[in-house]
Amino acid sequence: MLSTSEILETIQMIQQENLDIRTITMGISLLDCADADIDRACEKIYQKITTRAKDLVKVGQQIEDKYGIPIVNKRISVTPISHVLAVSGGDPVKYALTLERAAGTVGVNFLGGFSALVQKGFAPGDMELIEAIPEALRQTEHICASVNVGSTRTGINMDAVKMMGEIVKKSAEVTADKNCIGPAKLVVFCNAVEDNPFMAGAFHGVGEPDCVINVGVSGPGVVRAALAKMQGGDLTDVADLIKKTAFKITRMGQLVGAEAAEALGVPFGIVDLSLAPTPAIGDSVAHILEEIGLEQCGTHGTTAALAMLNDAVKKGGVMASSNVGGLSGAFIPVSEDAGMIAAAKAGTLTLEKLEAMTAVCSVGLDMIVVPGDITPATISAIIADEAAIGMVNSKTTAVRIIPAIGKKVGEELEFGGLLGSGPVMPVGSKSAEKMIARGGRIPAPLQSLKN
């Protein structure tokens, strides 16, 4: 039984400390929708999504009303569309428009899975889908795309890395009239996971069930508030408090996920216990690091503090649920975190420091705005650096970088909503174009040979 104090504590977390369920995401396999005729395949996809997910939003709202727990997003992830495209051929944008129509019908916030997995090379459908990403994102509002270019087991596909630098830049250019929103819905991964509920990188892996519910929890404000109340204590005590707080947050995610899965008649997959910030005041991962003792996020000591935070969140979460999965750690998206926005504007948080932080946190370089005149080769080089960190450390890393067309360092790009706004950050002035032009594959590291 819950005590009165525990109930009151949870109410305070929700009302004053921005505790919420960031997303319930229904994963749907589209493998049985593949058809040699692209129009038939599109119709099968529409019918399956609108049948499977017809009650997703309603069930989410019912759980919100029952427990008083905010569920910010209801989302869908699907099988990487390149797998379906391999059978049908044709214009990949048709699939994007079908997914957009389905997302509108069921009323979800985002739908992820306009994706390709090319870590070891291009299979039929992969290159065509990647080339279609800019146009697909331009013509849709709710569709998210991702491409996995490397893994610890395979190394890094540098031909794909080169291609993605060009795709990211083109995506910004064709959505320049919409504040370059295209690249904000596009993630380039190394070691992508199959059960990620968070956008823009979610897709439904081929090893997943036909349909599943995954939950993403979020509570940076709760962790910060707990630390603010802490009287004294060394870093061991800090880590212990974070673990206990993460345990409480994850239990809520477990409750919501299990209840949603039962109501929808599908298996419960995982709870992703990532601390996902928002631009709202009091909902910042950077402010947690500052509460630990940094004057500002990005200064010396930031990587160590983030490593401790990430580890403590995982340890607390796995004690609260046997279904922990996804990315599960701490996100550091610059434009979505009020503390990181302030640190970037002050010059304390740089691209180089963010790269170092990604070696110990949940994902990678996320929602970073760069000058609009950045070259595709420089974008590719940034992707390659981040993929190398993921490959060598056997962890998921990613890049979601937004060239702000027409803007320079010091200016700002406004997205609105959960995507927030970001200052244009400087990038290196020297070129890596010759290296990127070489192409080929960076071989897998020795630690990949574990059998």
> 155-170: per-residue pLDDT in tens?
999 999 999 999 999 9
- At residue 23, the pLDDT reads 86
3-state secondary structure of 145: strand
Antiparallel, parallel or unpaired: β 397-404 and 186-190: antiparallel
| CA distances, 426 to each of 22, 74, 360 (Å) | 31, 35, 23
Domains and CATH numbers, the chain: 23-190 (3.20.70.20), 216-448 (3.20.70.20)
| CA distances, 13 to each of 10, 245, 281 (Å) | 5, 11, 14
Rounded to the nearest angstrom, the gap between the alpha carbon of residue 119 and the centroid of all alpha carbons in its chain is 18
Judge whether residue 184 has pLDDT over 80.
Answer: yes
| CA distances, 68 to each of 207, 218, 251 (Å) | 34, 15, 15
Please give the model's pTM, rounded to 2 decimal places: 0.92
Judge whether residue 118 has pLDDT over 60.
Answer: yes
106 pLDDT band, cuts 50/70/90, is very high
152 pLDDT band, cuts 50/70/90, is very high
Summarize the confidence of residues 24-34 as an average pLDDT.
95
* Residue 351 token pair: 């691209």
- At residue 439, the pLDDT reads 95
146 pLDDT band, cuts 50/70/90, is very high
- At residue 30, the pLDDT reads 97
Judge whether residue 228 has pLDDT over 70.
Answer: yes
Range scoring the smallest mean pLDDT among 102-111, 173-182, 299-308, 360-369: 360-369
Give the integer Cα–Cα distance in Å for 337 and 109. 20
Judge whether residue 15 has pLDDT over 70.
Answer: no
Of 68 and 182, which is predicted with more confidence? 182
pLDDT digits (tens, 9 = 90+) for 343-398: 999 999 999 999 999 999 878 898 999 999 999 999 999 999 999 999 999 999 99
- At residue 281, the pLDDT reads 65
The amino acid that residue 413 corresponds to is L
Judge whether residue 7 has pLDDT over 50.
Answer: no
pLDDT digits (tens, 9 = 90+) for 237-291: 999 999 988 888 888 888 888 899 999 999 999 888 877 776 666 678 899 999 9
Antiparallel, parallel or unpaired: β 211-218 and 20-28: antiparallel
- At residue 249, the pLDDT reads 80
Judge whether residue 2 has pLDDT over 50.
Answer: no
pLDDT digits (tens, 9 = 90+) for 298-336: 999 999 999 999 899 888 888 877 788 787 777 888 888
Question: 118: closest CA among 89, 148, 154, 90?
Answer: 148
Judge whether residue 151 has pLDDT over 80.
Answer: yes
9 pLDDT band, cuts 50/70/90, is low
Average pLDDT value for the chain: 90
Give the integer Cα–Cα distance in Å for 25 and 158. 31
88 contacts 163 by C-beta, under 8 angstroms: no
